[in-house]
Amino acid sequence: MSDALAPGAVIGILGGGQLGRMLSVAAARLGFVTHIYEPGANPPAGQVADRVTTAAYEDAAALEAFAASVDVVTYEFENIPTEALDLLEAHRPIRPGREALRVSQDRLTEKTFLQGLGLNTAPFADITDLDSLRAAIGTIGTPAILKTRRFGYDGKGQARLRSPEDAEAAFADMAGAPAILESFVEFTHEVSIIAARGLDGQVACFDPGENVHREGILHTTTVPARLSPSQRTDAVLLAANILNALDYVGVMGVELFVTPQGLIVNEIAPRVHNSGHWTQNGCAVDQFEQHVRAVAGWPLGDGRRHADVVMENLIGSDMERVPDLSRESDVAIHLYGKAEVKPGRKMGHFNRIIRTR
């Protein structure tokens, strides 16, 4: 543990949303102090962090001061401006590292990287203009999905093409942003695997969870997922493959489509992931602590699952369900401290413990 941060060290977290909030709590549990960097005022993570810097990612002075005050920098989201990362990295290690960010910030780069590892992805094509879209439809066919290369999340920046005639409208939806066309994959269900890699190269995976989305937003994650033993092995091997290729340090979420022909990698997220929230009530060490352990240079924790869990997100007015949920035994509630309820806003989640084992 010579590279390990000692308790009392300061972990800097870029982003003050719910992921930063739960990372902050996990860091505190291991005796670390957290400093949140977030452009928005009163971030949810600030309520459980020792320190908050409210500043833009373009504010060089604020970034410098932040870097000087922390021992390591991590983040809760991948779309951090490159210039900010350059500046921070001159002072402190950023974990997970730059390569993971570079790859995951751009869907085209990500898909190309995954293919280069020999992993299965949906057929895709680089879309620069309407002509290239039409040509891609000719190769890939429809149905297909047009997605912006950057800054997409929770179904935003996506347009479905049911037939070639949808090309123009879908292209217009991209508003001129570089995009990729992905073939629509005929999958039976979607799973994700939350994988971690330590500073020493050790890899550990949580059990895969099965995800159901509603309106492009994760609705539930159920563990165990419906997977055959060989599919489980495949999931672990491909996650380890990705992490090792990136010399990754931290937790990553890997979304997979399950098809009769095998697993197809949908996308990777170089951070703790909504589909890993079940670990808070299913494992002694959850994904947040696992991430903190990795970025702090600690040995990875034991992520063995001790319970079957269904995680369900509380979106917008789902908050009205909290009084009823609080009466249910076997439901563990996790709220994010967001003052304002908005439609589509992730306000919290709950883990229903189905069976301990």
The SS3 of residue 63 is helix
Output 87 or 333, the one with its CB closest to its own copies: 333
48-87 positions binding its own copies, by CB under 8 A: 48-50
Q: Is 182 annotated for ligand binding?
A: yes
DSSP-derived secondary structure for 128-195: -SHHHHHHHHHHH-SSEEEEESSS--TTTTEEEESSGGGHHHHHHHTTT--EEEEEPP--SEEEEEEE
Q: Which residues pair with 307 in a beta bridge?
A: 356
Residue pair 282/351 in contact by the 8 Å Cβ criterion: yes
Q: Tell whether residue 213 is a contact of its own copies (CB under 8 A).
A: no
Q: Tell whether residue 330 is a contact of its own copies (CB under 8 A).
A: yes
Residue 5 DSSP code = P
Site for its own copies (CB under 8 A): which residue of 41, 61, 175, 329? 329
Indicate the helix (H) or strand (E) that contains 75.
strand 72-75
Q: How far apart are CA 30 and CA 51, in angstroms?
A: 17
Q: Tell whether residue 260 is a contact of its own copies (CB under 8 A).
A: no
**Burial environment of residue 87 by CB neighbours within 10 A (0 to 12, 13 to 18, 19 or more):** middle
Residue 292: CB minimum distance to its own copies, A: 11
Q: Tell whether residue 43 is a contact of its own copies (CB under 8 A).
A: no
Q: Tell whether residue 8 is a contact of its own copies (CB under 8 A).
A: yes
Kindly indicate which of the ranges 141-149, 152-160, 206-214, 331-339 contains the residues binding its own copies, using the contact rule CB under 8 A: 331-339
Q: Tell whether residue 281 is a contact of its own copies (CB under 8 A).
A: yes
Q: Is 219 annotated for ligand binding?
A: no
> CA 261, 310, 107 angle in degrees (round to 5)?
50
Residue 330: CB minimum distance to its own copies, A: 6
Q: Is 147 annotated for ligand binding?
A: yes
Length reported for the chain: 357
Q: Is 324 annotated for ligand binding?
A: no
Q: Tell whether residue 323 is a contact of its own copies (CB under 8 A).
A: yes
Q: Tell whether residue 279 is a contact of its own copies (CB under 8 A).
A: no
Q: Which two tokens stand for residue 214?
A: 């509603």
The answer for 94, left when phi > 0, alpha when psi is -120 to 50, beta otherwise, is beta
Q: Which two tokens stand for residue 181?
A: 């066309």
Residue 339: CB minimum distance to its own copies, A: 6
Q: Is 154 annotated for ligand binding?
A: yes
85-124 positions binding its own copies, by CB under 8 A: none
Residue pair 239/252 in contact by the 8 Å Cβ criterion: yes
Q: What are phi and psi of 99, to 5 degrees?
A: -65, -40
Output 96 or 303, the one with its CB closest to its own copies: 303
282-311 positions binding its own copies, by CB under 8 A: 284-285, 293, 298-299, 301-302, 304, 306-307
- Which residue, among 281, 282, 303, has the nearest Cα to 291 in the 3D structure? 303
Q: Which residues are annotated as a binding site for ATP?
A: 107, 147, 152-158, 182-185, 190, 213, 266-267
Site residues (CB under 8 A) for its own copies? Answer: 1, 4, 7-8, 21, 24-25, 28-34, 46-50, 281, 284-285, 293, 298-299, 301-302, 304, 306-307, 319, 322-323, 326-327, 329-330, 332-337, 339, 348, 351, 353, 356-357
